[in-house]
Structure 1
C-alpha cells in the first residue's frame, strides 16, 4: 500500500470506522489515499540498480499493482496480493495489456495465504502500518513462513512516528524488530528514504532484512 499525504486521512479514518469490510469498501468507493498512482520511487530505483533478489516475489496489499509490475521481469515472477477483490480487479484491468507471465494478482487474506513455494523477495510498503498493532507478531510469523531460507524482506517503513491510532498506525524500527527477531530475521540495512515523496520525507525509511546465520 502507498499512502498519500496525511491530509486525506480524516475521511479515510471516518470511513473505516463505519464499515465492516473496510478495505473492500474503500476500493469500491474510491477512498484510497495510499495509492500514489505510480511506481514507488525507491522501488523503481532498486529495480534500475538491479539491487533485488530474483526468483519469486510477493507484494502484500498490492492495490493497483504499480510496484508489482515494476518488479516483474523474466528473472522475477511477482504475485500481488490484496484482500480487496475490487483492488485486484482494478489491477488486472489496469495491466491486462502488459506481458502477464511475469506477474499475477490474487485476492486473498495475507494471513491465510498458502503458496506452493516460499518467496525469494517480499516487499512490504505500508502493509505493516495498515495492520492493528496487535497483529504485528502474527505478521512476523507469516513473513517467516512465506520467506525462503535465503530470501530477503524489504520494508519501506512509514509513518515513522509516535502518534496514537490509525490506520495508518505509527511504526518504528523497534516495532519491526519485535515482530521479526523471534524468527531470526535481522535488519541488514536501515536508512531514511531519500526518494520518499515530498510529504513523507523524514518519516519514511528503507529497511532490508535477512535471516541471521550462525557460523560455527
Structure 2
C-alpha cells in the first residue's frame, strides 16, 4: 500500500476519515491554552481538516502554518476559516515541502502515525530542520504495538525515545491523561526541544 496523495485524496472523497474527530483534540487544545507568546511561528504538518489550526487562529496566533498532501481538507478548512491567509497553507508532500520559514513550535497530531514507519527517521530529521534553535515539537503519538496494519501505525516509548533523542531533548513523553475517550490509554503526550 502506497500512502501517497491519491491514497489520502480517496479517503477524503469517500468520507473515510475515521481519524477526524471534528474538533481540536483535547490534549492539543489544553497545550495551546498554556502558550503565552502568540507571536511564535507554529507549523502543523499533515493538518487534515485543521481543527487545531482553526483553534490557534481564533485564539490570536497569527503566525500559524499548515501543510497537507491533498487539497480536500485544506478546502474544507478554508470554507470554515475564510480569513485565514492562504499563503500559510501548503498543499504538498511534507518531505518535499517548499516552506522556507523556520518554526518555534511544530504540533504533532496524527501525522506521524499516518506515515509509513520506514519514514520515521526522515520525519525526525525534517522536524529538526524546520525548527528554530531551541524550537519544540509537541503533541501526541500513539501507544500500541507497531504492526503493518495501518495507518494508523503505533509504537512505544521504547521505540520513540531513541528515535528522537539524537536530535531532541525529551522534556516530556508520558501516558496522556486527557485523551478523548476512544483513544484513552493509547496515546502519549510529548514535548521535545531541538538540540
Q: Does 1:174 align with 2:158?
A: yes
| Unaligned 5+ runs, structure 1 | 1-15
More relative contact order, 1 or 2 (CA 8 Å, 6+ apart): 2
Are 1:81 and 2:67 an aligned pair?
Answer: yes
Q: Which runs of 5+ in 2 are unaligned?
A: none
- The aligned length equals 193
Q: How far is 1:132 from its partner? A: 1.0
Give 1:123 deviation, angstroms: 0.6
Post-superposition offset of 1:119: 0.6
Q: Is the 8 A contact 2:146 2:155 kept in 1?
A: no
Q: 8 Å contact 2:128–2:194 — kept in the other structure?
A: no
SS at match of 2:41: strand
- 1:107-136 CA-partner distances (Å, limit 9, x unpaired): 111101132221110011121111111110
TM-score scaled by length of structure 2: 0.88
Which residue, out of 66, 81, 92, partners 2:51? 66
TM-score by length of 1: 0.80
Tell me which residue corresponds to 2:91.
107
RMSD: 2.5
Q: Aligned pair in 2 of structure 1 residues 29, 19: CA closer, same or farther (>3 Å)?
A: farther
Rounded Cα–Cα distance in structure 1 between residues aligned with 2:81 and 2:49: 9
Aligned match of 1:149: 133
The corresponding residue for 1:199 is 182
Aligned to 2:116: 132
Relative distance call for 1:188 and 1:51 in structure 2 (3 A) is: farther
